[in-house]
C-alpha cells in the first residue's frame, strides 16, 4: 500500500511507517496532520489515480520534528569588477511520520 501526496510544491511517495522531510508545515511536535492532496493511491493492487486529487483520500501523519536544514552558501562574483556577495540560507523543514492512508 502506498500513495503519492503533494505538499510544499513537491510530490512524495509514502507508505505507512515512512518518515519524510517536507517543507515547513505549521504545528507542534506530536500534532497529527491530514494531507488531503493525494494524487494516487495503491491499496492491495487497486490503483486509483486522481484528476488531480483522489476524492475522499487522505494521509494522516504526525509531526516528529520542526527544524532547519544545513546552511547553503550562495556566493556571487563578477570577474575583474570587484563584485562579490556571500549569502547563507537555511531552509525550514518538518519531519513527518506517516501513520495511515485512508
The pLDDT-based confidence of 45 (bands split at 50, 70, 90) is: confident
Distance CA 89, CA 102 (A): 36
Residue-averaged pLDDT of the chain: 94
The pLDDT-based confidence of 44 (bands split at 50, 70, 90) is: confident
Predicted local distance difference test score (pLDDT) of residue 33? 95
The pLDDT-based confidence of 102 (bands split at 50, 70, 90) is: confident
Beta bridge partners of 43: 46
Q: What's the distance, Cα to Cα, between the start and end of the chain in Å?
A: 11
The pLDDT-based confidence of 41 (bands split at 50, 70, 90) is: very high
Amino acid at each position: 500500500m502506498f500513495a503519492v501526496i503533494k505538499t510544499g510544491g513537491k510530490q512524495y511517495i509514502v507508505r505507512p511507517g515512512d518518515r519524510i522531510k517536507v517543507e515547513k508545515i505549521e504545528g507542534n511536535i506530536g500534532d497529527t496532520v491530514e494531507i488531503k492532496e493525494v494524487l494516487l493511491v495503491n491499496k492491495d493492487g487497486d490503483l486509483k489515480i486522481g484528476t488531480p486529487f483522489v476524492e475522499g483520500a487522505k494521509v494522516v501523519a504526525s509531526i516528529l520534528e520542526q527544524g532547519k536544514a544545513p546552511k547553503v552558501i550562495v556566493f556571487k562574483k563578477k570577474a575583474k569588477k570587484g563584485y562579490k556577495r556571500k549569502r547563507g540560507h537555511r531552509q525550514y523543514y518538518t519531519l513527518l511520520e506517516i501513520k495511515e492512508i485512508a
